């Protein structure tokens, strides 16, 4: 009995003490679940949509409630730019933090090699412990994808974080094609894409009734769609614009679903979210052109409460700092505390390494699909300066993919029928050497101020800024594409252009004088047309081509250049002679031979010249037909597209 009494009275206090001991041990000996100590970085990337297609940028016609809400909770950048107006060169710049012309990757799908020390920036995050995941699109315009960049390359959202360790910080690039150019061509494609997206996130198929209910409010009225002043008012143009806004609305819905999914799985509280488009677009004179319509992109950054101290302003702020894709790599490294490797050409606009606001951003254009052109642009808060290095080419060169859109065909018909006003006709005419626009008052860039004496000083300033940038980055775009391949040899273009073998200052001076079209530079071009450097000879021949008058001494120099060892010089000299009405037989024979050259880029450049020659180019029809017929021998699909177009234009197809 006494023993029972003792046990009874000591049992409860003993349990209490034991519980305290166990609790104390648990608190001190069992590790707590470690909180994520670095932010997730989420890139939400749409394709081919300009800043003005979102409601948060002041467009009442647009329907983008989810991105508008994200902007109200985050910050909106008013001067954000893709450095190129098309995907592959823009993404090449984005993923490396280096301007594509500095690496020789400025042409659309050129796939040149880049130096080993230039790395895709997600590799730095992965090596620092991040889980890196990418939704299917890469398109980085380099010869090989870099191994070690991605832990995961997914299609379905349900696989987005497959293999991620608990608490592991994430870098994700989520790409959507809902607003891509091809969605305007065939509306069924855009609708099916949206339905597949909804079903992927839901994890199940939708009935037709369920889907129709979901899309019933997606409709923009063509009758009320706002049109840019540079396009005529036709039914086809109105329909394409209205449908494009439908695609933007579907994209907005998709972004809302992604954000909701991140919130439901607990990631949003730890995520700094970037939303932007890969470049502008998508209707005529936007994508592929360095105007605001092609390069100015929407750009929103959301900071959760945990990381709000990193934001450049309170929620709903509009930030007017000029930023561009080349700045994304250093910015992400700055936010995640990773050392900048030193070769990056952009500047961090957030985080510990944030720099003072730069005054300018820089844009470029090289070959777009089958069409050669070369433009450079400098944009500030108020002005956009554009330099056209091939002013003898019209803006509206026929591009197979672009012409699949009804709006382009309609616009061309209106111009051919002389139904376009002066502003709408500019697109179909040769370009001026320089353009200057006050984008604060002329956002559609239809009033070129380059010849206005009141803007003489502004023009001179931007001209110098453009020169300085091209010299600093050792712009490889000054080298014709086939020549670039030869001069690079077994190394990379970077190694050639960043060596003393590339006299970039002299070449740029020649190129700038060439587009000046000043007869007083004739002797300068004649002297340099026989230089040992082929790039110097190329720009000298360009200068001779663009002179307003071509006396006998110029014609003789051009005829001599028909025998140059480098194909692009021969092509340019031949075109110059034919356009000038001199020595057509010899020049056309040179073009015929070049069409048989095994170098596909030379054949492409030759067909570009033939198109510019009009009726005179028809004599090369047999050689062009052979290119079109022997499609299996061509790895460059652009040759097939352009040969087919020429045959159709000449009435031979």
Task: Tell me the per-residue pLDDT of 447-506, one tens digit each, with 9 for 90 and over.
Answer: 999 999 999 999 999 999 999 999 999 999 999 999 988 887 778 999 999 999 999 999
Closest CA to 189 of 179, 198, 201, 174: 179
Q: Model confidence over 530-584: pLDDT tens digits?
A: 999 999 999 999 999 999 999 999 999 999 999 999 999 999 999 999 999 987 8
- The secondary structure of 412-466 as a DSSP string is HHHHHTT---HHHHGGGSBPPSEEEEETTT-TT--S--TT-GGGHHHHHHHHHHH
Which residue segment(s) compose the domain that 271 sits in?
Answer: 40-379
- Whether 56 and 13 map to the same domain: the answer is no
- Residue 26 confidence (pLDDT) above 50: no
231: in domain: yes
569: in domain: yes
Task: Give the pLDDT band of residue 34 (cuts 50, 70, 90).
Answer: low
| β-pair partners for 77 | 319
Last residue of a domain, one of 326, 346, 379: 379
Closest CA to 380 of 457, 329, 438, 294: 438
Query: Average pLDDT for residues 87-112, to the nearest whole number?
Result: 95
Q: What pLDDT does 35 receive?
A: 59
C-alpha dist (Å) from residue 233 to 15, 225, 292: 86, 10, 21
User: 614: domain CATH number?
Assistant: 1.25.10
Query: Average pLDDT for residues 619-623, to the nearest whole number?
Result: 96
Last residue of a domain, one of 333, 354, 379: 379
Count of CB atoms situated within 10 Å of the CB of 464: 11
Q: What pLDDT does 531 receive?
A: 98
- Whether 11 and 125 map to the same domain: the answer is no
Nearest 5°: the CA angle 54, 60, 65 is 50
- Whether 72 and 22 map to the same domain: the answer is no
Q: What pLDDT does 147 receive?
A: 85
Q: What pLDDT does 15 receive?
A: 39
- Whether 16 and 145 map to the same domain: the answer is no
Q: Model confidence over 506-518: pLDDT tens digits?
A: 999 999 999 999 9
- Residue 282 confidence (pLDDT) above 50: yes
Q: What pLDDT does 112 receive?
A: 87
Q: What pLDDT does 625 receive?
A: 96
424: in domain: no
- Whether 106 and 209 map to the same domain: the answer is yes
Query: CA gyration radius for the chain?
Result: 29
Task: Give the pLDDT band of residue 146 (cuts 50, 70, 90).
Answer: confident
Q: What pLDDT does 29 receive?
A: 39
Worst-scoring range by mean pLDDT, 323-337, 432-446, 448-462, 639-653?
A: 639-653
269: in domain: yes
- Read off the pTM: 0.93
User: 293: domain CATH number?
Assistant: 3.40.720.10
| Helix/strand/coil for 132 | strand
CA distance 469 to 632: 41
Largest CA distance in the chain: 133
Helices (H), 489-533: 493-497, 504-516, 522-528
C-alpha dist (Å) from residue 324 to 84, 120, 299, 347: 10, 17, 10, 9
- Whether 64 and 189 map to the same domain: the answer is yes
| Mean pLDDT, all residues of the chain | 93
| β-pair partners for 142 | 112
Task: Give the pLDDT band of residue 20 (cuts 50, 70, 90).
Answer: very low
CA distance 601 to 639: 8
Per the structure, how many domains does the chain have? 3
391: in domain: no
Query: Average pLDDT for residues 65-92, to the nearest whole number?
Result: 98
Q: How far is CA 527 from the centre of its chain?
A: 38
407: in domain: no
| Helix/strand/coil for 387 | strand
């Amino acid at each position: 009995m006494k023993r029972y009494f003792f046990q009874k009275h000591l049992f409860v206090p003993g349990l209490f003490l034991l519980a305290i001991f166990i609790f104390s041990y648990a608190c001190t000996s069992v590790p707590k679940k470690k909180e994520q100590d670095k932010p997730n970085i989420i890139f939400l990337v749409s394709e081919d949509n300009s800043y003005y297609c979102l409601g948060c940028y002041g467009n009442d016609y647009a329907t983008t409630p989810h991105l508008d809400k994200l902007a109200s909770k985050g910050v909106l950048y008013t001067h954000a730019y893709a450095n190129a107006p098309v995907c592959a060169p823009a993404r090449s710049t984005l993923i490396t933090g280096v301007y594509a012309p500095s690496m020789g990757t400025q042409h659309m799908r050129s796939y040149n090699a880049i130096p080993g020390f230039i790395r895709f920036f997600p590799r730095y995050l992965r090596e620092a412990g991040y889980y890196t995941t990418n939704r299917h699109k890469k398109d980085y315009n380099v010869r090989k994808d870099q191994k070690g960049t991605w832990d995961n390359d997914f299609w379905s959202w349900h696989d987005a974080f497959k293999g991620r360790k608990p608490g592991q910080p994430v870098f994700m690039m989520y790409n959507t094609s809902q607003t891509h150019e091809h969605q305007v061509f065939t509306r069924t494609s855009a609708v099916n894409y949206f339905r597949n997206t909804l079903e992927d996130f839901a994890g199940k198929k939708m009935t037709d009734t369920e889907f129709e209910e979901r899309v019933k409010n997606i409709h923009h009225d063509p009758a009320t769609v706002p049109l840019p002043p540079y396009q005529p008012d036709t039914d086809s143009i109105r329909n394409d614009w209205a449908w494009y806004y439908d695609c933007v609305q579907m994209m907005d819905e998709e972004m809302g679903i992604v954000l909701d999914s991140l919130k439901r799985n607990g990631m949003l509280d730890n995520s700094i979210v970037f939303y932007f488009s890969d470049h502008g677009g998508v209707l005529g004179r936007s994508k592929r052109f360095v105007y605001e319509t092609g390069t100015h992109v929407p750009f929103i950054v959301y900071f959760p409460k945990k990381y709000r101290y990193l934001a450049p302003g309170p929620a709903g702020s509009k930030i007017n700092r000029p930023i561009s894709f080349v700045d994304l790599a250093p910015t992400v490294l700055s936010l995640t505390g990773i050392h900048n490797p030193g070769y990056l050409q952009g500047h961090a606009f957030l985080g510990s390494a944030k720099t003072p606001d730069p005054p300018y951003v820089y844009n470029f254009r090289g070959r777009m699909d089958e069409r050669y052109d070369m433009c450079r642009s400098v944009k500030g808060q108020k002005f956009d300066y554009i330099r056209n290095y091939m002013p003898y080419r019209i803006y509206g060169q026929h591009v197979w993919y672009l012409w699949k859109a009804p709006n382009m065909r309609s616009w061309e018909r209106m111009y051919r029928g002389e139904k376009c006003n002066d502003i709408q006709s500019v697109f179909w005419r040769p370009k001026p050497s320089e353009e200057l626009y006050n984008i604060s008052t002329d956002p559609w860039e239809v009033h070129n101020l380059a010849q206005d004496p009141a803007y003489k000083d502004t023009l001179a300033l931007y001209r110098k800024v453009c020169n300085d940038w091209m010299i600093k980055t050792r712009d490889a775009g000054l080298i014709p594409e086939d020549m670039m391949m030869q001069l690079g040899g077994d190394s990379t273009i970077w190694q050639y252009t960043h060596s003393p073998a590339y006299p970039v200052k002299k070449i740029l001076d020649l190129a700038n004088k060439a587009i000046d079209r000043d007869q007083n530079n004739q002797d300068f071009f004649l002297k340099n047309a026989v230089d040992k450097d082929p790039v110097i000879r190329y720009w000298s021949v360009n200068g001779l081509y663009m002179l307003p008058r071509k006396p006998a001494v110029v014609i003789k120099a051009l005829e001599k250049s028909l025998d140059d060892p480098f194909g692009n010089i021969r092509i340019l000299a031949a075109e110059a002679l034919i356009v000038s009405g001199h020595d057509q037989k010899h020049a056309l024979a040179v073009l015929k031979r070049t069409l048989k050259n095994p170098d596909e880029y030379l054949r492409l450049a030759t067909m570009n010249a033939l198109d510019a020659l009009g009726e005179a180019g028809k004599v090369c029809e047999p050689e062009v037909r052979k290119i079109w017929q022997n499609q299996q021998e061509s790895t460059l699909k652009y040759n097939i597209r352009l040969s087919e177009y020429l045959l159709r234009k000449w009435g031979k197809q």
